[in-house]
């Protein structure tokens, strides 16, 4: 029993270190110890174990997340092949329409995990690796997944400017399991790029397009809740008609489709 408790404690400390590095980026030992509120000797043992398993890498005295996490995240994301497959055409379309990098995120263990990533053709672009686990608390994708938004934003999308990374802005919209009442948010479509191109108000530029892409993914997951004689508007129509519309906020049920019709 004592060994089991010790193993659980060590695992918890390892996760705490990984969470800190994910949020803070490359950090020296004293920074990790301070950020996790653990003794330096303990953090050193934890980091040594993570290094041995490829979960952490060290360069010039700073520790960062290891490349093995990307592969583990990719394998974990294969649990949702239907969502990833359904989203890829819409993300390609969104990339071509905006010229910026596009991603699909799902909620996993209190974080948002990228399960599809399509890069911009520009040399200066946002790069998010498939399997990357990012904080839910910062960035537009986290709010889209949790059903939140900034004050004054339309119900269909949310934006962020330099929240998680300096010089980067993004716009995200929720993907629902269907258009039926009670449907849940299963993913978030996101477009991101350098502020010099996206501007400091990226929602005005990309919001309707991101919302249209998210709607395409939702449509591919289940039939829309409309009569056969009244098909849903095309994505281009959605992009045109959704501009400037306001509502009380992103909901965690399928009230969003109604706001884009």
2-66 fold: Arc Repressor Mutant, subunit A (1.10.10)
Tell me the average confidence (pLDDT) per consecutive run of 10 residues in the chain, 261 residues long.
Answer: 44 89 90 93 93 90 86 59 85 97 91 92 90 90 91 89 93 90 89 95 96 94 50 40 33 34 30
**C-alpha closest to that of 107 among 68, 135, 130, 69:** 135
DSSP code at position 27: B
Closest CA to 190 of 257, 245, 119, 252: 119
Task: Name the CATH topology of 73-259.
Answer: Beta-Lactamase (3.30.450)
- Given this model, what pLDDT does residue 223 score? 58
Inter-residue contact 23 to 65 (CB < 8 Å): no
The pTM (predicted TM-score) of the whole model is: 0.61
As a whole number of Å, the end-to-end CA separation of the chain is 58
Write the DSSP string, 35-62.
HHT--HHHHHHHHHHHHHTTSEEEETTE
Write down the pLDDT at residue 81: 57
Measured CA distances, 66 to 50, 56, 76, 119 (Å): 9, 4, 16, 21
What does the pLDDT read at residue 73?
65
Q: Residue 101: what pLDDT? A: 96
CA dist list (Å): 67 to 2, 56, 57, 124, 182: 33, 8, 8, 22, 38
For the chain, what are the domain ranges?
2-66, 73-259
């Amino acid at each position: 029993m004592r060994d089991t408790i010790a193993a659980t404690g060590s695992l918890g400390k390892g996760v705490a270190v990984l969470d800190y590095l994910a949020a803070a980026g490359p950090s020296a030992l004293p920074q990790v110890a301070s950020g996790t509120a653990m003794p330096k000797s303990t953090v050193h043992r934890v980091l040594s174990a993570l290094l041995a398993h490829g979960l952490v890498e060290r360069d010039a005295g700073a520790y960062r997340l290891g490349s093995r996490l990307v592969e583990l995240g990719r394998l974990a994301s294969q649990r949702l092949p239907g969502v990833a497959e359904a989203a890829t055409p819409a993300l390609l379309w969104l990339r071509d329409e905006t010229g910026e990098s596009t991603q699909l995120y799902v909620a996993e263990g209190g974080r948002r995990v990228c399960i599809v990533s399509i890069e911009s053709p520009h040399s200066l672009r946002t790069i998010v690796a498939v399997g990357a686990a990012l904080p839910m608390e910062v960035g537009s994708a986290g709010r889209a997944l949790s059903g939140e938004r900034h004050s004054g934003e339309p119900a269909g999308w949310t934006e962020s400017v330099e929240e998680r990374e300096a010089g980067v802005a993004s716009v995200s919209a929720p993907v629902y399991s269907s258009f039926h009442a009670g449907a849940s948010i299963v993913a978030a479509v996101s477009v991101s790029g350098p502020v010099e191109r996206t501007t400091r108000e990226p929602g005005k530029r990309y919001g309707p397009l991101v919302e249209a892409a998210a709607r395409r993914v939702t449509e591919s997951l289940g039939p829309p809740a409309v009569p056969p004689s009244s098909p849903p508007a095309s994505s281009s129509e959605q992009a045109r008609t959704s501009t400037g519309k306001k509502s009380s906020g992103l909901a965690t049920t399928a009230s969003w489709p109604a706001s884009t019709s």
